[in-house]
Amino acid sequence: MTFLLTLHRGIDTLNRTIGRVASWAAMAMVLNQFLVVVLRYVFSVNYKWMQDGVLYFHSILFLLGAGYTLMHEGHVRVDIFYHRFPPRRKALANVLGAVFLLLPVCVLLWWWSWPYVAQSWAILEHSRDGGLPIVYLLKSLILIFAALLGLQGLAMLSENLLIMLGAHPDHEREDGTRI
């Protein structure tokens, strides 16, 4: 039980840290886009690498922030019955969702993306039209995304197993008392 709690808290800390750092990509993206527009329409200057920067910051924000978003239950959930479930039944639904949906999708995404990313690294792929010469790093975010989301799925799985077993120290029982 201690292992599950340590796993859950460690992965949460990792995704919390990465999510907070990645959130700065939103500010960088907005500032970069503002500069692109000002340079283009005020000074008639256009830099392709700056336009690529918007895409890169957007990718960083969403791909590196997905685990953080999952940790805070910010992803879309089709919630027809879930909100009415007691805590242990919610935990069971989360365990089943992680085991049969989230984790397999992360593994498949990693598996199918690996050759795509490896090929990009093999040729040190760069933008064909004068943009940023680090496309291989951008594509690597796909693997990092799958890893961070999968790790957060493991954290979610361990947390919900602890809730189901009645051993999660930060969770309340159905009657409102702390476990």
* Tens-place pLDDT, residues 35-54: 999 999 999 999 999 999 99
Q: Which residues pair with 178 in a beta bridge?
A: 172
pLDDT in tens, 123-152: 999 998 888 999 999 999 999 999 999 999
User: Helix/strand/coil (H, E, C) string of 19-53?
Assistant: HHHHHHHHHHHHHHHHHHHHHHHHHCCCCHHHHHH
pLDDT at 171 over 80: no
Indicate the Cα dihedral angle 116, 118, 124, 126, nearest 10°: 20
pLDDT at 175 over 50: no
**pTM attached to this predicted model:** 0.89
Spatial CB neighbours of 146, under 8 Å, sequence gap ≥ 6:
106, 107, 109, 110, 113
pLDDT in tens, 98-129: 999 999 999 999 999 999 999 999 999 999 88
Query: CB count, 10 Å around CB of 23?
Result: 14
